[in-house]
Structure 1
Amino acid sequence: MLHLILVLSGVCTVGMAMPLPNYYSYSMAVGDGTGTEYSTAYDGRITGVRVWEYSNAYIRGIQLRYDGNWTTPVCTSYGNPLEMTLHDSESIIQVSGKYYSGYIYEIMFVTSQGRSLKVGQPYGTSFNFYPTQERSELRFLSGRQNGNGITSIGAHWASYYPSDDEP
Structure 2
Amino acid sequence: MKDNLIDAIKEALLPEIRELKQITIKIESRMEEMSLRIGDTNTQIIELRKEMRETNRRIDNVREELTEKIDLQTARIDETNKRIDNVREELSEKIDLQTARIDMTNRRIDDLSGRIDNLSETVAQFREDFAEFKAREKIIEDILKRVGRLESKVIA
Does the alignment reach a TM-score above 0.5? no
* TM-score in terms of structure 2 length: 0.19
Q: Which has the higher helix share?
A: 2
* TM-score in terms of structure 1 length: 0.18
Tell me which structure has the larger Cα radius of gyration. Answer: 2
Work out which structure has the larger RCO, using CA pairs closer than 8 Å and 6 or more positions apart in sequence.
1
